[in-house]
Amino acid sequence: MNEINNREPIQIEVTGPFAFKLKLDTTNFGAYQRQGIVENVKVPKPVSFHSLAQSISNPVASSKDGMLETPDWRYFGRSEQLHIAFRAVHAFRSKHGRYPEFADQDEVLSMAKEINEKCKATEGDFSVEEIDEDVVKKTAAFATCSISGQAAFFGGIIAQEIVKFTGKYMPLKQWLHYDIFESLPEGEVDRTPMNCRYDDQIKMYGREVQEKLMKVKTFMVGAGALGCEYIKAFALMGLGCGEGGHVSVTDNDNIEVSNLNRQFLFRQNNVGKSKSETACRIAKGMNNALNVKDYMTRVGADTEAVFNDPFWENLDFIVNAVDNIHARLYVDQRCVWYEKPLLESGTLGTKANQQMIVPHKTQCYGDSQDPPEESIPMCTLRNFPN
């Protein structure tokens, strides 16, 4: 089709793995003859963003589809409520010079209602039909709290946005509101701070939960990319940091240069050293109270003399941070045999999965079938740089 040769790039619509449609009026073109070579040209697309002042007052007008991002469709409309709640929290901080606490929930709620009414009366400003008092009060109550799990989650989102900034993907536009209110305990709990590093968690989940975390006895299999994240989280949360609690970590691998881009606890001077020993030592440096023991032993049928009956029976739960299905299945079988909960997870590039397996309540890992591994995982290839 000569008319499409040697011209500006034509926008296309992909219709299948080997087919596409031209977004072009071709009624006056000659007949398509045969084959031909197509070059995929990535054309820059300008993206404009509203200023912070504009988008705070009207986040919907600043968004791509004229609505706020909804990360959890169980709570449709929650993002809108959170936006008003955040505005009220910042208004409280402007007035008092500090973020609100539990005792300030009613004042923040009053501010949220006032902001919403003003927005209703101002053309072009964003408002909600009715304030969800529970959302506003919870936002105010925990405004001073920072917990490691959610901080890591938002860190992942920010990392994705940085990747998008390189030009390959479309960035968020412009707001993403996310909460984990469903993780809060039901009913009254003792939230009295203990003047310790875990006070933010205590304010959210109570003393009883913190005391349980500190007494946990867990076993983590693998100290790679996921293992680094988990052992850091254990240290920051206080898991296994109390009397009777402990964390055991095993990985029979050594650190390589190609690991350093994602196994973030390790540095150049750690290359050649044991992953489990290095991860445990660094985590211990984050929290000296962490009761941690490292092994360099592969978990399998041939090492059951090391990881024997008393070892498994003494555990509260197990964490899988391995990179192959065979190891996952073996650990899953041990957890079924000893009736232990298992946190199963895995990553591949920017994709991830997580499965919480609880005896007598959920299916085990072996009950579902993962697709077979087609090739060597990219994380084990030694072509560096890639």
Beta bridge partners of 249: 220, 294
Tokens linked to 85: 């709640």
Mean pLDDT of the chain: 90
What does the pLDDT average to over 186-196? 92
Question: What's the CA gap between 268 and 226, in Å, rounded?
Answer: 19
Domain ranges of the chain: 215-367
Q: CB-based burial of residue 209 (10 Å sphere; 0-12 exposed, 13-18 middle, 19+ buried)?
A: middle
Instruction: Give the global pTM.
Output: 0.83
Any catalytic annotation for residue 379?
A: yes
Q: How far is CA 9 from the centre of its chain?
A: 38
Q: Which tens digit of pLDDT belongs to each residue from 63-118?
A: 877 788 888 888 889 999 999 999 999 999 999 999 999 999 999 999 999 999 99
Question: What's the CA gap between 270 and 277, in Å, rounded?
Answer: 10
Q: How far is CA 29 from the centre of its chain?
A: 51
User: What pLDDT shows up at residue 314?
Assistant: 96
Question: What's the CA gap between 145 and 210, in Å, rounded?
Answer: 15
Question: What's the CA gap between 11 and 23, in Å, rounded?
Answer: 5
Residues 240 and 217 sit within 8 Å (Cβ to Cβ) = yes
Residues 107 and 133 sit within 8 Å (Cβ to Cβ) = no
pLDDT band at 386; cut points 50, 70, 90: very low
Quick count: other Cβ atoms within 10 Å of Cβ 144?
Answer: 15
Q: What are phi and psi of 225, to 5 degrees?
A: -60, -50
Q: How far is CA 259 from the centre of its chain?
A: 20
Tokens linked to 218: 């867990």
Q: Which tens digit of pLDDT belongs to each residue from 141-180?
A: 999 999 999 999 999 889 888 888 887 788 888 898 999 9
Question: What's the CA gap between 236 and 248, in Å, rounded?
Answer: 16
CA atoms in the 13 A half-sphere facing the CB of 142: 24
Q: Which tens digit of pLDDT belongs to each residue from 196-220?
A: 999 999 999 999 999 999 999 999 9
**pLDDT greater than 90 at residue 181:** yes
**pLDDT greater than 60 at residue 309:** yes
Tokens linked to 386: 């890639």
Question: What's the CA gap between 118 and 92, in Å, rounded?
Answer: 16
Q: Which tens digit of pLDDT belongs to each residue from 216-266?
A: 999 999 999 999 999 999 999 999 999 999 999 999 999 999 999 889 999
Residues 83 and 139 sit within 8 Å (Cβ to Cβ) = no
Architecture of domain 215-367: 3-Layer(aba) Sandwich (3.40)
Beta bridge partners of 346: 353
Quick count: other Cβ atoms within 10 Å of Cβ 164?
Answer: 13
Which run of H or of E encompasses 357? strand 351-357
Instruction: Calculate the dihedral angle through the C-alpha atoms of 359, 364, 367, 368, rounding to the nearest 10 degrees.
Output: 140
Beta bridge partners of 377: none
